[in-house]
Amino acid sequence: MNRKAVLAIAKKDITSITSSVQLFLPIIVVPLIILILVPGGLLIAARYVDVTETTNMGPILKLLDSLPAGNLKTALDSFTDINQKMLFLFLNYFFAPLFLLIPLMAASIVSANSFAGEKERRTLESLLFAPVDIFSLFLGKVLAAFALSMVMAVVGFILYGLVVNGLGYAIFHRLIFPEPNWWVLIFFVAPSFSFLAILFNVIVSAKVKGFQEANQMSVFVILPVLALVISQITGALLISSKVLWVIGIVTLLLSVFVLRQIVKHFDRNKLFESQIF
C-alpha cells in the first residue's frame, strides 16, 4: 500500500466534492433540515401545543405503557407530563435511526462519485496508468468518503445536541441529550453503516457509466435505515443500546465480507474495460 498515494487520492476526491455546489449542497442542506429545523420546530411548537392532541399517538402511548424496566423506563418515569415523555422519546430514540441518514448521504454521494465521476471527467485513464497499485487507489476512494461521512456525523451530532438541549431546557428544565444509545450510534453504528455503504457504492461506481446512475443505485443502502425509522414509529422495535450493538456488529461483519470480495475481484483491467464499454 502506498500511503502517500492513498492520502493524495482521498484529498483529491474530497476537494472534488466540496468544490461542486451540485454535489456538496445536498450534504449540507439535508442535515440542516433533519437536525435543526425538524427538532427545533418540534420543540418550539411543544411550548404552545399539546403534542398528544396533534396526531394519532395511540401506538406510541401504548409503547410507553409496555416498556420494560430499564434506563429508558426510569428516565421517562422522572417526567410527570406526558408531553415531556413523548418529546424525550422522540428526540432521543425516534430520531436516532433518522440521524443515520446524514453520514450515509455523505458517504453515498462521495463514493458514488469515486470512479463514476472520474469516468465523466475522463480522468480515470490517468489514474489507471499512474504508478499506483490498485489497492491504494481503492483505499483512497474509500478513505475520502469515510472521512467526510464521519465529519458530517460528528458535526451533526453536536448541532443536534445544541438544538435539543438549548430549546428543550425550557420544557425539561435540564439537559436531556444524549442518552447512552447515541454514543453507540455515533461511534460504532454510524461508522459501520457508512463503511458498508461506501464499499457498495464504490463497486457500483466502478461498474456504471456516470455519477447519476451510481447515485440512484445508492438508494438501496438507505432502505435498511428507513426500515428502522418505520419500526420505531410503529413501535415494532425500540432502538436501544443493545439493539444498536447488534445492528453495528452485523453491519461490520457484512462490511468485512464485502471488503474481502472486493480485494479478490477488484483489478485494473476491469476498471479500464468499464471506462470503454
Pick the more confident residue, 268 or 254: 254
Q: How many domains does the chain have?
A: 1
Minimum mean pLDDT among 21-30, 54-63, 110-119: which range? Answer: 54-63
Q: Which pLDDT value is given to residue 94? A: 78
Q: Which pLDDT value is given to residue 159? A: 92
pLDDT band at 20 (very low <50, low <70, confident <90, very high): confident
Distance CA 164, CA 158 (A): 10
pLDDT band at 276 (very low <50, low <70, confident <90, very high): very low
DSSP 187: I
Reply yes or no on whether the pLDDT at 224 is more than 90.
no
Mean pLDDT of 50-54: 61
| Spatial CB neighbours of 235, under 8 Å, sequence gap ≥ 6 | 59, 60, 62, 63
Average pLDDT, the chain: 76
Kindly report the backbone phi and psi dihedral angles of residue 199, in degrees, each rounded to the nearest multiple of 5, phi listed first: -60, -45
Give me 115's grid cell.
Answer: 470512479
Q: Which pLDDT value is given to residue 160? A: 93
Q: Are 1 and 133 in contact (CB under 8 A)?
A: yes
pLDDT digits (tens, 9 = 90+) for 133-169: 777 777 888 888 888 889 988 999 999 999 999 998 8
Residue 238: helix, strand or coil by DSSP?
Answer: coil
Q: Which pLDDT value is given to residue 64? A: 64
Q: Which pLDDT value is given to residue 165? A: 92
Q: Which pLDDT value is given to residue 59? A: 61
Closest CA to 115 of 43, 203, 247: 203
Q: Which pLDDT value is given to residue 235? A: 54
Global pTM exceeds 0.75: yes
Residues of the domain holding 88? 3-276
Give me 141's grid cell.
Answer: 476512494
pLDDT digits (tens, 9 = 90+) for 95-108: 888 888 888 888 87
Q: Which pLDDT value is given to residue 86? A: 80
pLDDT digits (tens, 9 = 90+) for 226-257: 777 776 665 555 667 787 888 889 988 988 88
Q: Which pLDDT value is given to residue 233? A: 62
Distance CA 14, CA 178 (A): 30
The one-letter code for the residue type at 215 is N
Rounded (10°) angle between helices 101-120 and 190-207? 20
Reply yes or no on whether the pLDDT at 271 is more than 60.
no
pLDDT digits (tens, 9 = 90+) for 68-77: 566 677 777 7
Percent of the chain at pLDDT above 90? 6
Neighbours of 236 (CB within 10 A): 11
pLDDT band at 200 (very low <50, low <70, confident <90, very high): confident
Residue 33: helix, strand or coil by DSSP?
Answer: helix
Q: List, in sequence order, the alpha helices (H) in the chain.
A: 3-18, 21-32, 38-46, 58-66, 71-77, 82-89, 95-99, 101-120, 124-129, 134-172, 180-184, 190-207, 211-217, 223-234, 241-265, 268-276
Q: How far is CA 196 from each of CA 178, 183, 184, 191, rounded to the nearest angstrom? A: 25, 19, 17, 9
Distance CA 112, CA 117 (A): 8
Reply yes or no on whether the pLDDT at 190 is more than 80.
yes
Distance CA 255, CA 193 (A): 8
Closest CA to 72 of 242, 246, 248: 242
Q: Which pLDDT value is given to residue 277? A: 47
